[in-house]
Amino acid sequence: TAAATAMNLFASVAASAAKKQKSEGKKRLASGMAFLTGWADVALFTKYRGFATMMSGNTLWMANAFVDGRLRDMAYYASVILSYWAGLAAFRRADLTMKKKSLPLCALAVTALFVGSDYINCFADVGARWAPMMMLAAGFGII
């Protein structure tokens, strides 16, 4: 019985270690994603004066533009928010209708939006910020 108890203890420790490794991997993944989201926000705000990954900052900038009477900027931030919502709605609809097939399709859509945004940024007018930012916001909404 001592051998059986030792084996049970060993199995319990091994199972606990496996759960801990799985948990650590999830924590690393979540931390990495949070870092990359923050990095994307800084890079996109520096370039386009807006946030593509979260809409709370855009809402505040839109309110600031409204108070200052800058209607063009207000429309810009409203467009970013609506593009993000469109991405959310597109993902939700795809997820409900196509189930497991939705992820590859959404990955393709996000890739196309990000690459298209980069293409427009490289070959369009230097001051063009609307189209690339709308595409990025829609892509991050899907994600």
In this prediction, what percent of the chain has a pLDDT beyond 90?
A: 51
CA atoms within 13 A on the CB side of 15: 6
Task: For 112-129, write each residue's pLDDT tens digit.
Answer: 999 999 998 888 776 678
In this prediction, what percent of the chain has a pLDDT beyond 70?
A: 83
CA atoms within 13 A on the CB side of 132: 21
* Per-domain residue ranges of the chain: 41-142
Q: Please count the other Cβ atoms lying within 10 Å of the Cβ belonging to residue 84.
A: 24
Looking at residue 76, its pLDDT comes to 95
Confidence label for 86 from pLDDT (cuts 50, 70 and 90): very high
Task: For 16-65, write each residue's pLDDT tens digit.
Answer: 656 666 678 888 888 998 898 888 888 888 888 898 888 999 999 999 99
The interaxial angle of helices 2-48 and 130-142, nearest 10 deg, is 160
Q: What angle do CA 51, 75, 120 make, to 5 degrees?
A: 60
Q: How far apart are CA 99 and CA 109, in angstroms?
A: 16
**How far is it between the farthest Cα atoms of the chain?**
81
Looking at residue 66, its pLDDT comes to 96
Looking at residue 81, its pLDDT comes to 96
